[in-house]
Structure 1
Amino acid sequence: MLSVLHSPQPTPTESILTALLNELAAIPSPLILVLDDYHAASSREIDEAVSFLLDHLPAQLHLVITSRENPAISLPRLRVRDQLTELRAADLRFTPTEAEAFFNHVMDLQLSTDHISELQSRTEGWAAGLRLAALSIQEDSDADRLLQSFTGNHHFVLDYLAEEVLQRQPSAVQDFLLRTSVLERLCGSLCDGLMANAEASGKDMLIELERRNLFIVPLDHERRWYRYHHLFADILRRRLMESMSESDISELHQRASMWYEDQGFEIEAFHHAVKTQDIARSARLLQGGGMPLHLRGAARMALDWLKSLPAKELDVRPELWVYYGSALLIAGKPTEVEHKLRAAEAALEGMEQDVGDKELIGWIAATRATLASLMLADNYNGAEQNLQAAEAAMQVSELEDKTADLVGLITPARNAVKSETDGVDQVIAQSRRALAYLRQDNLPARTASAWMLGVACQRRGNYTEACTAYNEVIANCRIIDHQLMAVMAMIGIAQIREAEGRPDLAAERYREVLRVAGNLPHPAIEEAKMSLERINRVLEGGLNGNLIEPLSQREMEVLQLIDQGLSNREIADKLFLALDTVKGHNRRIFEKLNVQRRTEALARARELNLITRTPKPH
């Protein structure tokens, strides 16, 4: 074969391949032919030659091709015939276990599990990226410092991706990569909106990038949406900033924002509008057509932008002060809210009120009602301390939206004690004010206000208004699909029916709670189940009217722990309550059961079938 190839006369490729195939067919033992870095040699003629080779491959010969991009041969046909084995990026990506073996056994770095997990996440399991990280740690010996700097802009990563990937692409491809790097995710028409005088459509370019395996990740099976590998996106954005002016980059974000808004993706449109520093457009998008974006999962994004604005810009647009306070509440930071609400009121002073301003007054009242509700927690340490405790409790969760935490903290568990009368009155006043000013179609805000009004009226003992408010919550939740608040409103009505001496109606409501809640993970659901079991025992025993006032869910929990022999301090630790709070629950339990001490309370509770006899531990 070598003599034929070295002859001065050109020989047809098919003749050469035929001769090669005949020689290979005469070899009895299995053979593997490896074409490494095929992308470096690929051309139409070579692709045709390899296709001919595949069509006439001897049975004992296997062809292995390694390439950074899909070869232009009939892969679909081979795939259908089950004649193709593919190892792609997903197969080559290191798992956490493999990353641990590489760092600690191959490179002998002895990294912690957290360090390995973070590096594996940053590199997305890319083998070369893991090796670059390992070399950086060997050079510096400080894994913590590396984690802070290991992006696409790290010099090892930057050099590799620039030299081995980016600079090897045609200028048109480089231009596409840089311009579209401002996007978190990409689709064909969106890329078209960012490109000027492009040689190919965005859809075709994305398909070509995927074929070339240019660090692009498909986000769906239809290959409509993609994203860049995180490290590759970092270097692209750095190169974009080096090669284009701020005004040109701002124009790219402006185009992206307009495309997203036209397609109805308001949060993404807001994100890119913020990048353009267009305050008027960003403020309009944040309003979200009546339902602000911070209530739709963009609380952190909204807060980051609002914090960056000078006070004079917020004063010109009082609604931004209102959204600022509301977003802080959704983010679980209630201690910072009142200052923003006062700033909003100051900005509104002297303005002629229109429908929009009245809506803002309603928002302010709804937000204040939430603050006042959080100050009514069960620990009796004072309103401000309760607010701080509520914030600490919400910050434990890593979820951006703390709505579920807020609902859980406001859950009624008892009637108001004398010391919190003013606080309950404040919740009622602000909730009523919110409902008077908010638009009828502002269902999220109206539902929250009605919920807090119901809770406060229940604590006040005004059961008629409480049930009216709770029923509004339930009706609204069917429209806005808020399962948790609907369930909590049903629990409130069930508690009221208990307090009114109607255990049959209470049991009916509790059964509805369990049906609607399904698998909803919330402590109140378990309390509802316990309450239903307790009421069923009462109904079975025919003891409906022996209690002056039913025990609340929290009081039932305390009573059951007393029955288990726990001290007040142990109960406080188990329920995460202050010791004084537990003592307060004890006093109310004794008053309701008309007893003086623990042993009498337990005996009376068993008479009423509130608790069953529990065997003593050995």
Structure 2
Amino acid sequence: MTLISAPAGYGKTTLVCEWLAGCERPAAWLSLEQGDTELTRFLTYMISALQTLSENIGEGARSVLRSPQPAPTVSILTALLNELSTIPFPFILVLDDYHAASSREVDEAICFLLDHLPTQMHLVLTTRENPAISLPRLRARDQLTELRAADMRFTLPEAEVLFNHVMELNLSMDHITELQSRTEGWAAGLRLAAISIQEDHDAGRLLQSFTGNHHFVLDYLAEEVLQRQPSAVQDFLLRTSILDRMCGSLCDDMVPHPEISGNEMLIGLDRKNLFVVPLDRERRWYRYHHLFADILRRRLLESMDDSDIYELHQRASIWYEGHGFEIEAFHHAVEARDITRSSRLLQGGGMPLHLRGAAGMALDWLDSLPSKELDVRPELWVYYGSALLIAGKPTGVEQKLRAAEAALEGMEQDAGVKELIGWIAATRATLASLMLADDHQGAESNLQVAEAAMQVSGLEDKTDELVGLITPPWNAGKNETDGIVEVIAQSRRALAYLRPDNLPARTASAWMLGVACQRRGDYAEACDAYNEVIANCRMLDHQLMGVTAIIGIAQIREAEGRHDLAAERYREALRLADGLPHPAINEAQTGLERMRRVIESGMKGNRIEPLSQREIEVLQLIAQGLSNREIAEKLFLALDTVKGHNRRIFEKLHVQRRTEAIARARELNLI
């Protein structure tokens, strides 16, 4: 038997027709309809279909079916099988839309046929739901070929052929990719989209409106799928349509007084191929096909009052929170318009949800709230600013922080208020760090440049981008003195106020403190801060910030002339980075190579006082032919500072002029 089982509109019938046209075997075809579940009617139609292969086949069985007292089903089927076995050539029987005729009696008859099928006969079933016949037994005997929705979905190249070669629409690959994604390769969805584009001649406009609520899709799904379901199934579909994913016990809480359990209903929907998609091999979690979910949600809005829909979201939020899914619980609390519950869930029991992958969701909600609601909950102003930063939008952060401070003014500084003060300071330390970037337009412009750079990425959480943009100590910028003082002050304030167990905020503050102190030359405080970062990152499993802290310590040891310790730290950073794509990793690699050359030079007797990192930068620019003034402008240093670096370079290399310094440096593999 060949079983082709998929939801409506996946092209099952079309596929079998094309296959039959090329397989060079005669075939009998029976298209089944609602009402063909009665066994006598089913067998009568099946015999009529088989008679297209051999005119008199099954006449004996059909005459028995017409008699006032028909014989037992087994006797009728045995007689039919005996006649089929006399057909002298291989043939195929197709039962199209078998789900329409499926009943206990019909299923039993098909099982009997399969158990005694003549060798020259092959059975093909197309169906929207799994038939109640013994598929596992057929699989075990290797007597079953199965095609499912996953096999029937249009791939991107197939969708391109449909749109541009069959329908001759000349769509761009971007448009085709978007349509293939929205339909999830559903053949009818792609065809309906193509028809719409033919009518409108505007693929871009169609993409803006092509959902389950598009009139073609809506009509198809409503007529072919939804209206054919029993009322209990329709009620289940509508109530659970608000869920992005479903499991049995969650559905139980969404549907009051269900006739069957949520788990049984989901298994039944899966068996019926009712546009549900299993999300795991155990089939515990499911979701609806996106276009089907769209039409269900529209029907829900049409059939329920807002208050009833809010209650559904409240039920979902309570279930998700009780099972440890806090982000999902927050989403449904927001949809339920429950500000108190949403605010509590956003706090995340000490680690706000915007730090756990929900920055965009948090911002959407906070953007929707009036200021008076935020003023009575100052923590929301604080999270607003912090979430903007995580989302890569630093230019709007300070306004939220000031609103938070205004709302906190006059409040007793209990543990909760102190924590918020620490959050504000940590957020301001990040802003001050971003303002240290190399830019000729001033600190405020630096925030705009940073924001533009971070918005290039499609990621919702911009933490890694923030780490990359905060000017690292090996690439110091101009006008950094005042900025560094601000970073240090805010970072220290944050660490003084934040709870010891608020590891995300404390780690970020300690890292920025370490960077600023290293740049200012306060190596002892920098190392203390970096060590806290490294310890916290082991608990948080935050790879990037921990690696950059280790590199910072390596650079400090290098500046102190402790080359063995520096090399050890560079190696540790590279080992932990494990191919992490970030400029800091390149610094670890070049730093380790630099230490190797210095150590080897010392072992060969070329004992010179090691050059600092800044001195090597100056030496490289000297080798490029830049003048002292040009070097000063390039590195944002005073001219006298550059001249001082030159003197120390000449002294350490034991040379008198620039050309000698360049030659000596190349001899020692320093440049």
TM-score by length of 2: 0.85
CA contact under 8 A between 2:438 and 2:477: conserved in structure 1?
A: no
Whole-Å separation in 2 of the counterparts to 1:120 and 1:508: 51
Partner of 2:387: 327
In 1, the alpha carbon distance for the partners of 2:174 and 2:475 equals 47
Could you list the per-position Cα deviations for residues 329-364 of structure 1 after superposition, in whole angstroms to 9, with x for gaps in the alignment?
A: 000011110000000000000112211000000000
Q: What residue identity is the alignment partner of 1:53?
A: L
CA separation of 1:545 and 1:423: change in aligned 2, threshold 3 A? farther
In 2, distance between residues paired with 1:589 and 1:141? 66
Greater shift, 404-413 or 285-294, is seen at: 404-413
Specify the SS of the correspondent of 1:66. strand
- Name the aligned partner's letter for residue 62 of structure 1: H
1:283/1:295 CA distance change after superposition, 3 Å: same
Is 1:221 the counterpart of 2:281? The answer is yes
The corresponding residue for 2:117 is 57
1:374-410 residue CA offsets vs partner (Å, 9 max, x unmatched)? 0111334321121111111111111110101111112
Alpha-carbon shift at residue 81 of structure 1 (Å): 1.5
Q: Which residue of 1 aligns with 2:135?
A: 75
| Structure 1 residues 599 and 165: alpha-carbon distance in aligned structure 2, compared to 1, 3 A threshold | farther
Q: CA offsets per residue over residues 253-279 of structure 1, 9 Å max, x none?
A: 000000000001100000000001110
Residue 529 (structure 1) aligns with = 589
1:18 maps to what in 2? 78
**Residue in 2 that maps onto 1:550:** 613
Where structure 2 has 5 or more consecutive residues not aligned to the other structure, the ranges are 1-57, 651-656
Select the residue among 148, 154, 178 that pairs with 1:118: 178
Report how many residues are paired: 598
1:381 corresponding residue in structure 2: 441
2:597 and 2:438 mapped to 1: Cα distance?
Answer: 28
Contact 2:547–2:577 (8 Å) recurs in 1: yes
1:194-343 to 2 correspondences below 5 Å: 194-343=254-403
SS at match of 2:445: helix
Give 1:84's aligned amino acid: L
2:482 maps to 422
Change (3 A) 1:321 1:73: same
Q: Would the alpha carbon gap of residues 51 and 397 (structure 1) be closer, same or farther in structure 2, given more than 3 Å must change?
A: same
Aligned-pair distance for 1:513? Answer: 0.6
Residue by residue over 1:211-254, the C-alpha shift from the partner in whole angstroms, topping out at 9 and shown as x without a partner, is 00000000000000000000000000000000011000000000
CA distance in 2, matches of 1:139, 1:524: 54
1:467 pairs with one of 520, 527, 541: 527
1:10 partner amino acid? P
Shift of 1:188: 0.2
- Which entry has the higher C-alpha Rg, 1 or 2? 2
Structure 2 partner of 1:129: 189
1:539 CA drift (Å)? 1.2
Q: Kindly tell me: are residues 44 and 600 of structure 1, through their superposed partners in 2, closer, same or farther at Cα, counting changes over 3 Å?
A: farther
1:225–1:418: structure 2 CA closer, same or farther, 3 Å change rule? closer
Alignment CA distance shift 1:440-1:521 (3 Å): same
Query: 3-state SS of the aligned residue for 2:403?
Result: helix
TM-score with structure 1 setting the length:
0.93
Please say if 1:47 is aligned against 2:107: yes
SS in 1 for 2:473: coil
Q: Which runs of 5+ in 1 are unaligned?
A: 569-578, 612-618
Percent identical residues: 76
Call closer, same or farther: CA 1:317–1:601 in 2, change over 3 Å: farther
Moved more, 592-601 or 388-397: 592-601
Give, in whole Å, the separation in 2 of the partners of 1:13 and 1:102: 46
Q: Is residue 353 of structure 2 the alignment partner of residue 353 of structure 1?
A: no
Residue identity matched to 1:323: Y
Q: Which residue matches 1:413?
A: 473
Kindly state the Cα deviation for residue 491 of structure 1 after the two structures are TM-superposed: 0.4
How far the C-alpha of 1:607 sits from its partner, in A, is 4.0
Bigger relative contact order, structure 1 or 2, given CA contacts below 8 A and separation 6+?
2
The letter for the 1-side match of 2:537 is: C
Deviation, structure 1 residue 92: 0.1
Give the distance between the partners of 2:626 and 2:69, measured in 1 at CA: 102
CA distance, structure 2, for counterparts of residue 593 and residue 494 of structure 1: 24
Deviation at 1:9, TM superposition (A): 3.7
* Distance apart, 1:477 and its partner CA: 0.9
Q: Which residue of 2 aligns with 1:576?
A: none
**For 2:264, what is the secondary structure of its paired residue?**
helix
Please tell me whether the aligned partners of residues 478 and 636 of structure 2 are also in contact (alpha carbons under 8 angstroms). no
The 3-state SS of whatever aligns with 1:213 is coil
